[in-house]
Structures are given as C-alpha cells and as structure tokens.
Amino acid sequence: MRSFEALRHVFRKYDIRGIYPDEINEGFAYRLAIAFGKILEDMGANTVVVGGDVRTHTPPIKDSFIRGLMHMGLQVIDIGTVPTPIMYFASKTLNVHAGVQITASHNPPEFNGFKIVLGGEPFYGDDIERLYEIFSSPHLSPKYPYPHGKIAPHDAVHDYVSWVRKNVSITKSFRVGVDAGNGTAGPVVEAIYPKKGIEYEGLYMEPDGTFPNHIPDPTVPEYMKDLSALVVRKGLDLGFGFDGDADRIGLVDSRGKMVFADKILALLARPVLREIPGAPVILDVKCSKGVVEYLERLGAKVVMWKTGHSLIKAKMKELNAPIAGEMSGHIFFKYRFFGHDDAIYASLRFLEMLSQEERSLEELLAEIPSYISTPEIRVPVSNDEVKFRIVQELVEKFKAMGLPVIDIDGARIEFPDGFALVRASNTQSVLVMRFEAKTPERLEELKDLIYSQLRKYPEVRLDEVAH
C-alpha cells in the first residue's frame, strides 16, 4: 500500500474513491475496515450492512473489508451485489448501526471506493476526515488476530422489491425504455417492473464491471444516445437511464429528447405538493430558474442549497423537506420513503405521477418556463488549493459590483432573465460553471461576465474549455 499521505486525496468530501489497485486495493480495504470499526466501537455500535457494485475488483475489496470488520468483532450482514440505494434501504430497515457500499458510482472501470452511512445518516465531511486520521495512525491494529465477529447473507433485493410493490401505485400502462449501463440497476428493474405492470425495453441490463457499452452516467448526453434512439425507434412513452450504482437517474421523453434532473424533480414534486401544500423543495445551485418559477407557482417553498448528496440529505432533515434533487440526477424522497436518493424508486414514482395526470409528459414539461442554458462547463485549475480562494474572491468582487449574488455554494449571480454560476468542485481540480438566459445573446453576455474575471487568474486554464 502507498504511503498514507499519498492516499489522502482518496478520502473525499462525500465518499472514498480511487484507482484500483494503485490506491484502493485489498490491503486498503482491510485497514479501512479496522479504522471504521474503531469508530463503531467508540459509539458502542456493532452491526454493519455491506453491499457492492458490479466492478470486477469489488468482490475482493468487499471480502477484505468484511474480514477487517470481523477482526474488529463486528456483526456483518452481507447483501451481495446491489445498487447503493438498496444498501441505504437495508441500513434503514434491518435495524443495524451502519451501512457500507463498495462502489465508484459512474466512474470509469479502474476506479473503486466506499460510500458509508452511520446511524442512518450520511457519513461525510468531518466524519471522513476523522476516518482518515484513524486509518493513517501508525498504531492502528485489529482488535482480534482472527475473525471474531459474525457474518450472515441477506437478500435485501427481495425486501426492497416487496416494499416497493406495496408502496407505489401505477394506475396506467406505460411502455418504457431502460438503459442500465451494465451497472447494478438491471436485475432490480427486471425484478420490479413486470410486477408493477410496466412494459419495458432494456439496454445493457446485464451487469458488467468493464462497462463495455458506455460509462453509466445518465447526465451525459453522449451516454444517453442509445436510449434516445431506442425510445424513438420503438415508439415508447419515455426512457430512464441509471448510473452505475443506481442512485442517479436520467430521462428522455417520447421524442428521445433528454430531460435534465431539475425538471424531473419539478414534475415529481407535483403530487407531493398536492398532499403537503407549501412544503419546502430543495434544489442545488445549478438548477434552472424556470424550475424555481414553476415550483413557486405550485406553491412550494423553494430552497436552493449546496451541491452534494450528503449536504442535500442533511438540509432535508433540517427542514423536514419531503423531496429534493440535484442536477447530477440524485432525487431524494422523504415523503413516503426514507430520505435517500434512489433512481429506481424515482423512476417508479415518476410513472406513478404520470398515471395520475391527464396530460402527457411532453405537455407537462411545456408548462415549465423555458430558458436557454449551457450544460456544466468544467474549467481545469492548475493548483487545487486555489480553487476555493478564487471563487471566494469572485463572490466578493461581484457583490462589490452591486450584483445579486447567492453565495451558499460558489457565486450564482441572479438576473430577471437568467443566471451565471461559478463554483469550486468538491471532488476535482476544476471550477464548475453554468449559464442560463432567455436569448443566445444574453447567454454570451453572462458567460463574458464570468470569463472576464477568470482570465485574471493564471491558474485557471480557460484555454482548455470550448467556449
């Protein structure tokens, strides 16, 4: 294993993620389990649910992680190869203290990592910092020299399918396209959709950790092309795309047109707001102005918050919000669910919503005010240390210019006819930008507003971005 300092960067804000076997490997997993076991021991906790994704190296990493937990005397429930949301589901329904998923989500095949929940809450930020401190201690050692805990397999997919069958009601028939991206979603969709009377055409349903067809990221238009073509060719009502561990959703309409996640959230909020009028709905700072206007028209109290699934979950709990979402495709349900992000469940709730409406998906989408927007523009920064300082300086500059700045997560400058956003990525050495306006000319003006400031920083590599 590499030096602890060389591994510091894999302990990220929301999870642990790195390249196999150079960074994340069996030795790393065993040591991480010992460190996590120390945290559980300090809390008087002793039960852990462990699942994993479809990557080729997940089984040996998972086995080593479980061995480490056993050497700490912990009780392990092994739920096998499952979507991350089923690990969340199991950690809430099996009366355990913690849950761990071996996954690198939508990252390329050479990556792997760990997503953790503790006491039913996201494990992130300071929690991961503390885990790294214990992991990197030269005095770290297992409690027992041999496996002292217990391990039991459990079919969490069966539990999940049974629960969803009882708790989602789809009253119309739909013909749906599905692109599982060779991730964990395929077998679960195959188990649930027929039981809910959903006719579907599947693409890349077979789990394959080499991701031979495309990277499973349904927010990237390139990776949704096959699904769009399938929906149009077969005359389907709509299509769902899932990321590698099935916690993020993508959507295409009957014309094969991609629908961004903020609009998915806006439509999912319709029945929720009928049941809970005036409820808070949480969005991240990248969401469309049109979606904000639409939700406010439905009576929602729209709350814009920081990007990051753990941060959104914490805000949901604070405000007791029934639903939330991010542009990255995470949709969170507190109302009638457990508060976490789950793309398969989101797809079912979406069909349930459509089955309650007289109008088509396209007619519902047409009600959301339309803006011209860019996708995420990611600008490399040569020095990772300066990205947050640059954004903070921009916030101060824009405020000094008298511009209306939302600064909860970077600088989102609001105008009556659009917005400009620049924020520092929490996971990469990049600045993330997004722009939205009513006309192409205005869109260019808003881009120039940000670009003109960024050109003053030699660390920002604007020349590497297609304008």
136 CB burial (10 A radius; 0-12, 13-18, 19+):
middle
Report the DSSP beta bridge partners of residue 199: 175
So which residues are the catalytic ones? Answer: 17, 105, 330
**Cα 200 to Cα 195: distance, rounded to the nearest angstrom:** 12
| Cβ within 8 Å of residue 126, ≥6 positions away | none
**Cα 302 to Cα 284: distance, rounded to the nearest angstrom:** 10
Residue 419 main-chain phi, psi, to 5 deg: -155, 160
Length of the chain: 467
DSSP string computed for 69-128: HHHTT-EEEEEEE--HHHHHHHHHHTT-SEEEEE--TTS-TTEEEEEEEETTEE--THHH
Which secondary structure element, helix H or strand E, spans residue 289, and what is its range? helix 289-297
Which secondary structure element, helix H or strand E, spans residue 161, and what is its range? helix 156-167
| Cβ within 8 Å of residue 162, ≥6 positions away | none
C-alpha distance from residue 390 to each of 12, 381, 422, 460 (Å): 20, 10, 10, 9
Q: Are 154 and 78 in contact (CB under 8 A)?
A: yes
Enter the tokens of residue 306. Answer: 């920081």
| Cβ within 8 Å of residue 356, ≥6 positions away | 171, 271
The half-sphere exposure of 393 on its side-chain side, counting CA atoms within 13 A, is 10
C-alpha distance from residue 401 to each of 114, 229, 415, 459 (Å): 43, 47, 14, 23
Place of tokens 């930020």: 125
Reported for 135-139, long-range contacts at CB under 8 A and 24+ positions apart, including other chains, are 135/4, 135/11, 135/31, 135/32, 135/35, 136/4, 136/5, 136/7, 136/8
Report cis status (omega within 30 of 0) of the bond before 108. Answer: no
**Cα 61 to Cα 50: distance, rounded to the nearest angstrom:** 11
